[in-house]
Structure 1
Amino acid sequence: MLPSENRLRRREDFATAMRRGRRAGRPHLVVHLSGVSDPHPAQESLPAPRAGFVVSKAVGNAVVRNRVQRRLRHLVRDRLTLLPAGSLVVVRALPGAGDVASDQLARELDAALERLLGGVRP
């Protein structure tokens, strides 16, 4: 489970990350990353990075969707330290994500984050 300060909950936050942020697509997921607007902010004023997940009915039934969301939440929790402070991340699962193993999802998430963060290897 993600800590409370690292969860995206509001619709506006999801919309901001998906519309204004950069994205990296992979075969089974798409990662949207929206950073902070000020390039030189004071470190103590920045909130923790926050993550949200979108797993639609196209992925599978409720059991499959919940399993995919739990896997993605676990993977993102381990990678929160790589994200810039104040950033918003939305991970959107694509159809077929329920049929792949967790290690495959981890590789795709790592590749997407590496692309979005400019070569920082998770």
Structure 2
Amino acid sequence: MSKAVGNSVVRHRVSRRLRHLMRDRLDRFPPGSALVVRALPASAEATSDQLGGDLDSAFRKLGLPVHGGAA
């Protein structure tokens, strides 16, 4: 994760939040898929709901189903 997101404490917090949000969304991908989630600087100030919404929006653009899960 880029240092533009914040200091190491902030970067690790964002990383943990994204990992938790992705855990509920992994079933949308075929087995063996590889995915990279890039955190932009605004991620440091975003709420979990905002991050989840951003992930769901990106998945919609990819044509993946958006359902349930924590958003």
Please report the TM-score for the alignment, with normalisation by the length of structure 1: 0.52
Matched residue type, 2:45 = D
For residues 4-46 of structure 1, give each alpha carbon's deviation from its aligned partner in whole angstroms, at most 9, with x where no partner exists: xxxxxxxxxxxxxxxxxxxxxxxxxxxxxxxxxxxxxxxxxxx
For residues 76-109 of structure 1, give each alpha carbon's deviation from its aligned partner in whole angstroms, at most 9, with x where no partner exists: 1110111111211000001121011110000000
Partner residue, 2:47: 101
Superposition map of 1:2-81 within 5 A: 55-81=1-27
RMSD: 1.1
How many correspondences in the alignment?
Answer: 67
Matched residue type, 2:57 = A
* DSSP 3-state at the match of 2:51: helix
Indicate the structure with greater helix content.
Answer: 2
Report whether the alignment pairs 1:111 with 2:57. yes
Indicate the structure with greater strand content.
Answer: 1
Distance 1:56 1:71 in 2: 16
Q: Go from structure 1 to structure 2 and tell me whether the alpha carbon gap of 1:98 and 1:70 turns closer, same or farther (over 3 Å shift).
A: same
Q: Gaps (5+ residues) in structure 2? A: none
Distance 2:66 2:49 in 1: 16
Q: Gaps (5+ residues) in structure 1? A: 1-54
